[in-house]
């Protein structure tokens, strides 16, 4: 087994993170939607500390990542962790990196006394679905995710009269 480690991302990791984000978006057929840039990522991740990221490295080479942030459950009365992106580069899949990243993230969730770890998965991504179910994760089929972006978000914000 090659020498690998799971590390917390640092500012200097942003170029590698952006590369992996683009690779993931390409896999999900949404590469055109990636508009993130290094300066914005640095601001949100390392100045504002809104998001965090774990990186899997094999012999010093970044091979995967788990980008996440805290959310809050009113029903549990405590924070949770939301996994925004889990990605392992294709050449390194099947070696345990995805599981190692999720194990470390689960440990962080427990260490921080959070109530849950959750994420979304595209319906067509059967390899990921099988992987998640094998770990004991259960789908939340009765919930539908809604999103406002771009003009819709701006239009709704413009109606704020409070």
Measured between alpha carbons, how far is 161 from 111 in angstroms, rounded to an integer?
41
- Residue from 81, 70, 84 nearest 24 by CA: 84
The CATH number for 144's domain is 3.40.630.30
Examine the pLDDT at 102 and tell me if it is beyond 80.
yes
**What stretches of the chain show up as alpha helix (H) in DSSP?**
14-27, 38-42, 97-111, 126-134, 150-158
Q: Residue 85: its pLDDT value, please?
A: 97
Q: What is the pLDDT of residues 104-157, one digit of tens each?
A: 999 999 999 999 999 999 999 999 999 999 999 999 999 988 989 899 999 999
Q: How far apart are the two ends of the chain, measured CA to CA in Å?
A: 59
- In the chain, how many domains are there? 1
Structural domain including 106 reads 4-158
Q: What is the pLDDT of residues 72-99, one digit of tens each?
A: 999 999 999 999 999 999 999 999 999 9
Q: Residue 1: its pLDDT value, please?
A: 53
Confidence grade of residue 36 (pLDDT, cut at 50, 70, 90):
very high
Measured between alpha carbons, how far is 75 from 62 in angstroms, rounded to an integer?
37
Examine the pLDDT at 2 and tell me if it is beyond 80.
no
Catalytic-labelled residue, pool 27, 92, 132, 146:
132
Concerning whether 132 is annotated as a catalytic residue, the answer is: yes
Cβ within 8 Å of residue 99, ≥6 positions away: 131, 135
Q: Which helix (H) or strand (E) holds 62?
A: strand 61-73
Q: Are 120 and 71 in contact (CB under 8 A)?
A: no
Q: Is the dihedral of CA 23, 29, 32, 33 positive or negative?
A: negative
């Amino acid at each position: 087994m090659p020498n690998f480690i799971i590390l917390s991302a640092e500012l200097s990791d942003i170029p590698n993170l952006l590369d992996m984000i683009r690779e993931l978006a390409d896999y999900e057929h949404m590469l055109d939607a990636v508009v993130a840039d290094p300066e914005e990522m640095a601001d949100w991740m390392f100045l504002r500390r809104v998001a965090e990221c774990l990186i899997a490295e094999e012999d010093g080479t970044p091979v995967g990542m788990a980008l996440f942030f805290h959310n809050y459950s009113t029903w549990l009365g405590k924070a949770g962790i939301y996994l925004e992106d889990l990605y392992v580069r294709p050449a390194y899949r099947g070696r345990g990196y995805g599981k190692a990243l999720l194990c470390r993230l689960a440990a962080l969730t427990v260490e921080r006394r959070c109530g849950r770890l959750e994420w979304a998965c595209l319906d067509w991504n059967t390899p990921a679905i099988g992987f998640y179910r094998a770990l004991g994760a259960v789908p939340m089929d009765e919930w539908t995710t809604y999103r406002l972006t771009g003009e819709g978000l701006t239009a709704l914000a413009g109606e704020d009269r409070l």
